[in-house]
Structure 1
Amino acid sequence: MKGKLYGVGVGPGDPELMTIKAARIIKECDVIAVPGKIPEESIAFRIARQACPEIDEKLLIGIPMPMTKDEKVLKRSHEEGVLSLKHQLDEGKDTAFLTLGDPTVYSTYLYLHNEIRKGEYEAEIISGVPSFCAAAAKLHMSIGEKDEQIHVIPASYQVEGALGLPGTKVLMKAGKKLPDVKKLLREQNAESVMVENCGMENERIYHGTENIPEDAGYYTLLFVKKRGGEQ
């Protein structure tokens, strides 16, 4: 009998934000798969380890997921990742693939999930708390009220047009694009707040475009609204 694959969202950083279901699946699975060559160095692994010390007793496998837009490189890494997961599943081992936040929000896990499901394998997604929800709670702010629209935008791509949308804009993984994003925010006279490494020890919060640094880590997001709450 083949094993089952679980894409497990471990939340944004605070291990107490991991769901009860995520913790149960991790404890029940035979294998823990983690993005990256060295599982113990993965942020997702370190979060899960704090909530589930039993993870140290599991078989750990690293699934390299390069940070690149090169389609050939991505395709090759995805194919290799699928083969590695299938090897464990073919041996009848239930496998949990850990991912930050929620697996359905800009997660590379979904490529693996969809490929696995094309074969004779079972796969399930275990939701996690998205980083922008945790960050909004930290800021005591509402992302959306009444008829206010919410737009979640990958900041590593073109954001100029997206910043003109009404309501709240959530710019995900904005670290490398901060200089460009700051320039656009100043031009649009928009209100903004930046949260870096939400829920982690090195969490940083910056209110106002003028206070946003020129560079930041990969796990950086911004909330952008029109001044005065205008739509």
Structure 2
Amino acid sequence: MSGTLYGLGIGPGDPDLITLKALKIMQAAPVIAYPAPVGKPSLARSIVETHLPGNQLEIKIDTPMVPGKFPANDVYDQYSEEIAKELELGKDVAVLCEGDPFFFGSFMYIYARLSERFKTVVVPGVSSAMASCCQIGVPITSRDDVLSVLPAPLPSEELMSRLQQCDAAIIMKVGRHFTKVRDVLGTLGLSENAFYIEHATMDNQKIMPLDEAQFEKAPYFSMIIVHKRGEAWK
């Protein structure tokens, strides 16, 4: 009998924000797998490190985080088969995913390759988007507000168009696109209602009004939160 494939959302960074369900599954699974940039430590593993029992087989999914090469289909093909071998031996495999597995989560690429072959259970997690709103102290929607989640790599014209059509926005994957996004929000007159956050819920978290963020680029794990009314309850 084959093992079960688990996709575990482990939250945005604070080890205490993993759900009880994900924690129980992760600690019981004989095999865990997690993504990591090639040649660098895994953020996903570091989040849960204090919760690991220490007796599990670990599969590190080395992934090239290079624009134009992600998702790396050959990498996910290779590691999906490595995970499949463990499942075929009857072992459960828990794949760790920062935030939520189906919200820009890397687990979806494993899911696409294995969910039809093996029993699969996906456990939702606290997303970085919602965690960021709470850390900043900015309610992001009320009543009939329309919320857009926008990836910062979009062209300026498309970002501007989509921002004009919503009441509030969470702009993710800011990184090297920070200046572009800041300029777009400035053009739309939204800068004074926007907040910048990086490494949400982690020890090195930083929060500031967007107008005070006078730098040229940001870390990959950063985002900008904006509500057109400034405060959602207005």
Instruction: Tell me the residue number matched to 2:170.
Output: 170
Q: Distance in 1 between matches of 2:52 and 2:231?
A: 45
- The residue number in structure 2 matching 1:220 is 222
Task: Give the distance between the partners of 1:57 and 1:46, measured in 2 at CA.
Answer: 16
CA drift of 1:12 comes to 0.4
**Distance of 2:8 and 2:61 partners within structure 1:** 14
Determine if the alignment matches structure 1 residue 90 to structure 2 residue 83.
no
Aligned pairs for 1:69-218 (under 5 A) are 69-70=67-68, 74-119=72-117, 121-158=118-155, 159-190=159-190, 191-218=193-220
Deviation at 1:46, TM superposition (A): 1.1
Structure 1: state its 5+ residue gaps: none
Superposition deviation, residue 214 in structure 1 = 1.7
Structure 1: 4+ residue segments shifted above 6 A:
37-40
> Displacement, 1:209?
3.2
Segment of structure 1 superposing worse, 21-30 or 109-118: 109-118
Q: For the structure 1 residues 146 and 23, does the alpha-carbon distance in structure 2 shift closer, same or farther, using more than 3 Å as the test? A: same
Aligned residues: 228
User: CA-atom RMSD, angstroms?
Assistant: 2.2
Q: Quote how far apart the aligned CAs of 1:163 are.
A: 2.1
- 8 A Cα contact 2:30 2:57, kept in partner: yes
1:77 partner letter: V
Work out the CA distance in 2 between the residues paired with 1:116 and 1:5: 8
SS in 2 for 1:36: strand
SS at match of 2:160: coil
Cα distance in structure 1, aligned partners of 2:178 and 2:70: 27
**Separation in 1 of the partners of 2:210 and 2:37?**
37
Measured after TM superposition, the shift of residue 154 of structure 1 is: 1.6
CA-CA distance at 1:229 after TM superposition = 5.3
* Structure 2 alignment gaps of length 5 or more: none
Alignment-mate amino acid for residue 226 of structure 2: V
- Tell me by how many angstroms 1:207 deviates: 0.7
8 Å CA contact retained: 1:11, 1:101:
yes
Kindly state the Cα deviation for residue 156 of structure 1 after the two structures are TM-superposed: 2.4
Going from structure 1 to structure 2, the CA distance change for 1:2 and 1:212 (only over 3 Å counts) comes to: farther
Contact 1:5-1:89 at 8 Å conserved across structures: yes
Quick one: which amino acid aligns to residue 225 of structure 1? H
1:8 aligns with 2:8: yes
- 2:8 is paired with a residue whose SS is strand
Distance 1:228 1:17, change over 3 A: closer
Relative to structure 1, the CA distance from residue 57 to residue 113 in structure 2 (aligned partners, 3 Å threshold; closer, same or farther) is same
CA distance in structure 1 between the aligned counterparts of 2:39 and 2:98, rounded to whole angstroms: 13
Identity %: 29
